[in-house]
A and B are shown apart, each in its own frame.
Chain A
């Protein structure tokens, strides 16, 4: 991390997002609290990882940061300036600089367009096709592992991983400055995954790109990220340097997550002790009182069931939202 501390490339302050859904087949609309007071920033040229359980709000956060969705509350600062009300030319400029790689590649690619049409589109929208567009497009496709013979084909003719690479290429087409990567490699086999992660790293070195990297895969996150935020039910529960999260996980949820990473070796896998979380997974339709993790937490105390814990600095560059720290691991081991 080389940049000045207090100027974030992209920063969110106190974001909240409510979705309204119908409850039951004839019921009244009810609010899903997808984001519940998220404040976070990423420094230029660095990678911020966001991990957390399915449904905890990662995609929603990513989409809001790219201005593809409006927050119910809160502000978004890009290079220190508020951006959520941008319009016209300014918005177009923002969209050019800030790109997203979508989680579901199939849903995000127009089935009626060939790959080369899909990749040409951003160049045309931003008036950059001109002379060298075609050359740039071919180079881009090659870098992202798309064979030349695939360019004239349609998305449905591809395998899942091939489609994902098209999504990645489209996001990188116009040399963006910041890319939100929503599970960009989870559909890829490990070898291609490695190629793409290496590519993302190279581009970062070359062009000083900033990434916000959403993933469930801790081993992937670890290789790429400088800092990691762990989310749980719409909130950040731990935020620290990547190495810190691995060597010194402090939140009980982070601890459980790390212990559940499958190891690529049947012998090792049998030997380790996994923390299997029990208890009800909380619902964003009716989040539990106090710490939303308490129904599944092995360490929960009375105060956890009563008060919402706030993020507190436990050491420099390490914030945790849990009142029972440090965890008394001896207390709970069987």
Chain B
């Protein structure tokens, strides 16, 4: 079966006074129906920007430039006429945004906002759409859903807003759901419920899911594939099992050891010392070199290509060259 989504050589950059900011560089992956891809990585590594580029929600050129190919059922979304794009967005490809308040309209009620895509894309009447909105809100665990349709976003708690957005994204049964940190504001029990719901809908509608998160616990439970991003690029990509069995990039290993464990208490948490590179003038060589505990002489000189460790496990690190 051909993939639903296939991204190749995706590059996104923003212009600034001091030169272009390379937010995403050379990203490649493909995603099948009914599959879940997890994207984890450093804050500022380009996870959200990559997601916004799929939906063409980034600021216009020349301030922001997107290059490469984003094929949705074989059609390049980057070339799609605006009108077609509007029909796709929120309907065939839906997104849960990282910060609910940026995408909820403060002057419209929650009910109106969930009902809107149903009226636009599915041709439902207002009252049908509102009924459906109540059902969706209920499924994401908002008690008394029907009575809360008339609330405004500021009358919802942080986690309730996040769930309202999830309801909105799921309303049209999208083929691809992009969930950008969908459960950061949710406690574990509701988190589990939402993830179950996503899994159910995935089965029912063969939905493909891109799950952006820094909660590796969630990833372990949900995803088939995982990409680890650092400074705008994928530094490791593998199936879930392979990645946990042999995390191969030093950044991935650092990330895994920084997870605070619920069953022990340490005085200090592990962190990866240092900062990610300035995306405006990235140094030569491996972008992780300045922070890498295993850095070697050549890391400073040449950017490591991606090495195939078998079974589609890819990693960009010189240490892996000979294996």
Which of A's residues lie within 8 Å of B, judged by CB?
Answer: 19, 21-25, 27, 30, 32, 51-55, 58-59, 103-107, 145, 147, 149, 157-162, 183, 186-195, 197-198, 201, 216, 218-220, 222-223, 242-243, 246, 256-258, 260-267, 269, 274, 276-277, 280-286
Contact = CB atoms under 8 A, between A and B. Distances in A.
A290 to B, nearest CB: 17
Contacts of B301: none
Nearest to A282: B143
Interface stretch (B74-82, B88-96, B200-208, B217-225): B217-225
B188 A187 contact: no
Interface of B: 14, 18, 40-45, 47-49, 98-102, 109, 111, 141-144, 146-151, 155-160, 162-163, 181, 184-193, 214-218, 220-221, 240-241, 244, 254-256, 258-263, 265-266, 268-272, 275, 278, 280
B157 A106 contact: no
B44 A103 contact: no
Contacts of B266: 223
Contacts of A277: 189
B181 A264 contact: no
Given A51-B187, A103-B185, A220 B215 contact: no
Nearest to B161: A104
Top 8 closest pairs, chain A to chain B, by CB = A54-B159, A161-B43, A262-B217, A194-B271, A283-B144, A283-B143, A194-B269, A216-B187
Given A27-B147, A216-B186, 13 more contacts: A19-B155, A27-B150, A103-B158, A104-B99, A145-B275, A187-B98, A189-B214, A191-B42, A264-B217, A266-B241, A269-B221, A274-B192, A285-B147
B217 A104 contact: no
A191 B271 contact: yes
A193 B188 contact: no
Contacts of B275: 145, 147
Given A159-B48, A191-B42, A191-B271, A276 B185 contact: no
B65 to A, nearest CB: 15
A275 B45 CA distance: 35
17 contacts: A22-B150, A30-B147, A54-B158, A59-B157, A107-B99, A147-B278, A149-B280, A186-B185, A191-B255, A194-B271, A195-B271, A257-B189, A260-B192, A262-B218, A266-B221, A269-B217, A281-B142
A263 B262 contact: yes
A53 B163 CA distance: 13
With most chain B CB atoms within 10 A of its CB, the pick from A22, A32, A216, A274 is A216
Contacts of B259: 190, 219, 264
Contacts of B42: 189, 191-192
B41 A104 contact: no
Nearest to B40: A189
B141 A281 contact: yes
A130 to B, nearest CB: 29
Given A186-B185, A189-B42, A160 B14 contact: no
Contacts of B40: 189
Contact of A21 (B49, B155, B189, B261): B155
Nearest to A256: B189
Contacts of B268: 198, 201
B73 to A, nearest CB: 30
A276 B141 CA distance: 13
A105 to B, nearest CB: 7
Nearest to B264: A222
A269 B220 CA distance: 8
B188 A260 contact: yes
A285 B143 CA distance: 9
A161 B242 CA distance: 28
Given A160-B48, A183-B158, A283-B143, A53 B189 contact: yes
Nearest to B100: A104
B44 A264 contact: no
Given A24-B147, A159-B48, A264-B220, A190 B214 contact: yes
B220 A105 contact: no
A284 B160 CA distance: 13
Nearest to B272: A191
Contact of A187 (B45, B181, B192, B256): B181
A22 B148 CA distance: 9
Nearest to A223: B260
Given A264-B216, A265-B220, A55 B160 contact: yes
B185 A183 contact: yes
Contacts of A23: 147, 150
Contacts of A262: 188, 191-192, 215, 217-218, 220-221
Nearest to B103: A106
B190 to A, nearest CB: 5
Contact of A107 (B101, B241, B265, B270): B101
A59 to B, nearest CB: 6
B117 to A, nearest CB: 19
Contacts of B44: 158-159, 161-162
With most chain B CB atoms within 10 A of its CB, the pick from A19, A160, A197, A263 is A160
A277 B189 CA distance: 7
B231 to A, nearest CB: 12
A219 B41 contact: no
A276 B189 CA distance: 7
Contacts of A162: 43-44
Contacts of A24: 146-147, 149-150
Contacts of B263: 246
